[in-house]
Amino acid sequence: MLNKSQNLFYPNYVLRQVEKPAQYLGYEWNMIDKSKLMDHGQLEVPMIRFGFCFPDIYEIGMSNMALRIIYNLLNSRADTWCERVFSPAADMREFMQELKIPLVALESKTPLNQFDIVGFTLQYEMSFPTILDMLNLGNIPIHNSARSNRDPLIMAGGPIVYNPEPLADFIDLFMIGDGEDLLGEIIDLYKTWDRKSESRESFLLRCTKLEGVYVPCFYEPEYYPDGKFKKNKKLYSIVPDIIKKRVVKDLDQTFFPTEPIVPNTQIVHDRAYLELFRGCPRGCRFCQAGMIYRPVRERTVDLLVEQAKHLIESTGYGELGLLSLSTGDYSELKQLGNYLLDYCAEQNVSLSLPSLRLDSFSFDLMSKAGQTRKSGLTFAPEAGSQRLRDIINKDIRESDLLEAARIAFNGGWNRLKFYFMLGLPFENTDDVFSIPELAKKVLQVYADLPSEHRKRKPQLTISTSFFIPKAWTPFQWCSQIDQAQMLEKRRILIENMRLRTINYQWHEPDMSVVQGFIARGDRKIGKVIEEVWCDGGWLESWNELFNYERWEKAMNKYNLSIDYYTSRQRSDDEAFPWDHISCGVSKEFLWSEYLKAESGELTAECREQCHQCGALQFMTGLCATHEN
């Protein structure tokens, strides 16, 4: 009677010695527990056990939209129980190793190796060593070639699956594109796999018939004698030459979780989310998301409003966020914004707006939402000079920015944040200097205001990250700058922004280099990831655990040149390790965009004109409104 400690799994003395112990315990509001269904033998067919793995710790993973969608989507099936698995933090990981506690799912505390299917979501490159670590903690062989019929099927999907090659030795099956329909098809097929009589290979071969499924062990890369990638060779004639991404055609008809889990502890993004649309009409040339999520597909206002109500009622959250790649481009933003503002005010919920377009309506909306006062306003010009903004196709004029700053200062927002990238293709020293110049112009805007509008001193945050060329963007051919260049550019900014009103934040160069060679890596990079993990790297996305020397050592061990992957400019006829994957956008379109970048020519957004990028083949969303 005294100890009602149900389902805790870990001993109290462990829970008392780790930070945020509740992250390992589950049993949050809206968690789905199908154990009783299984205990009582009410099932005619066995329940498919799906372990959804997020290769980072709880507070990061629980904030992720893919997790929220897939968790509730799979659990809406009577024949499937999807549970969550996260990486432990360092303190808990030590206890697990010492006490031989395997990695388990939060819901049933079932060890990872007892699941039917284990699915990883790929959100950022630095999480790749964490995937190996989680497999290992879950007692699953990290190599796909070492797995037997007793081991779970290991899948992966998500935004950075468009270059899956660095993980080709570890993952059985990749899902390319939107997972909502494909996941169900894979589970249906999985149910036909008799593990006693059919080999793993034979089952995986059957999976390749599903559009959007990539099984890497059926392809073998070929290299030129100098080690350069030549092409991918199919090992069986029946597997597809090109694996085309899946697209959900009608977002209104696509599952969306209105009863997400409400963690007992605070997570990074502790709020309810609406997904307004997928895809982005803008076509910024550095942006991978803008290419791979095409075409733009919107949810209708009526459905979003209904979902907002359901979300707030089911969670009790005090904050509602709007999710999309560019919320200001939602076609009915005015109607939706006005409705949500009223609803949120009535419910004592604050509406959290992402950085919007710089027009007056956006300011009106933000002003009414009120919440932005505490966090300040964020602008993302990405580049300091007009020349460079034209090159990357970021359609923001300096006059727009300064006008927006003026409205912001007038409206009482004294804290402004500006995001820039350093090391963009074709960047010169003047472009770098233009960042502090722009910052000073913004401060001048404040100084020019009438004194009654200058009550609070302005505080500018200038934040820079280093540009990393990504697969499936017009800049996939481009050279990434090396550490020395990164440091030099950063030095210029530090020296030219020594003002008390400017706070300069930057990213560390070393991690950008590692992200760079993974992002455009081939299969050989898999060995490097494995080596780094063997050498003790497991949560490399965390600055305090990341260790560049480990990566450098691993690259040297396999005789791989970092420059080959990062700073080398590719020629137009180069074959890429990701050429057999297709996000719908053609390599020809990307190359034409690269050439336009070179000459500083803008490409109008999709709504104005179709540029024949290739996404038209999906015949849906914004593309379906074009005639040809």
Instruction: Name the residues that contact other proteins, by CB under 8 A.
Output: 2-8, 11-13, 15-17, 21-22, 25-29, 262, 264-266, 312-319, 348, 350, 370-371, 373-374
Side-chain-side CA neighbours of residue 416 (13 Å): 30
Instruction: Identify whether 295 is preceded by a cis peptide bond (ω within 30 of 0).
Output: yes
CB of 259 to other proteins, least distance (A): 11
Closest CA to 23 of 75, 95, 92: 92
Query: Do 445 and 406 touch, CB atoms closer than 8 A?
Result: yes
Cβ burial 46-80 (10 Å sphere, 16+ → b, else e): ebbbbbbbbbbbbbbbbbbbbbbbbbbbbbebeeb
For residues 63 and 603, which CB has a smaller minimum distance to other proteins in the complex? 63
- The single-letter DSSP state of residue 618 is G
For residues 16 and 498, which CB has a smaller minimum distance to other proteins in the complex? 16
Query: Do 55 and 87 touch, CB atoms closer than 8 A?
Result: yes
For residues 374 and 455, which CB has a smaller minimum distance to other proteins in the complex? 374
For residues 227 and 370, which CB has a smaller minimum distance to other proteins in the complex? 370
Phi, psi of 321 (to 5 degrees): -110, 155
CB of 29 to other proteins, least distance (A): 4
For residues 301 and 366, which CB has a smaller minimum distance to other proteins in the complex? 366
Cβ neighbours, 10 Å, residue 103: 23
CB of 67 to other proteins, least distance (A): 19
CB of 349 to other proteins, least distance (A): 8
Structure tokens at 448: 């020019």
The three-class DSSP label of residue 371 is: coil
Q: Which residues contact 477 (CB under 8 A, 6 or more apart)?
A: 469, 569, 570, 571, 572, 574, 591, 594
CB of 323 to other proteins, least distance (A): 20
For residues 87 and 315, which CB has a smaller minimum distance to other proteins in the complex? 315
For residues 93 and 490, which CB has a smaller minimum distance to other proteins in the complex? 93
DSSP 327-347: GGG-TTHHHHHHHHHHHHHHT
CB of 336 to other proteins, least distance (A): 21
The three-class DSSP label of residue 11 is: coil
CB of 118 to other proteins, least distance (A): 24
For residues 106 and 616, which CB has a smaller minimum distance to other proteins in the complex? 106
Query: Do 497 and 104 touch, CB atoms closer than 8 A?
Result: no
For residues 4 and 500, which CB has a smaller minimum distance to other proteins in the complex? 4
CB of 57 to other proteins, least distance (A): 16
Q: Which residues contact 119 (CB under 8 A, 6 or more apart)?
A: 50, 51, 52, 53, 70, 154, 155, 156, 157, 183
CB of 343 to other proteins, least distance (A): 14
Q: Name the helix (H) or strand (E) containing 35.
A: helix 35-39
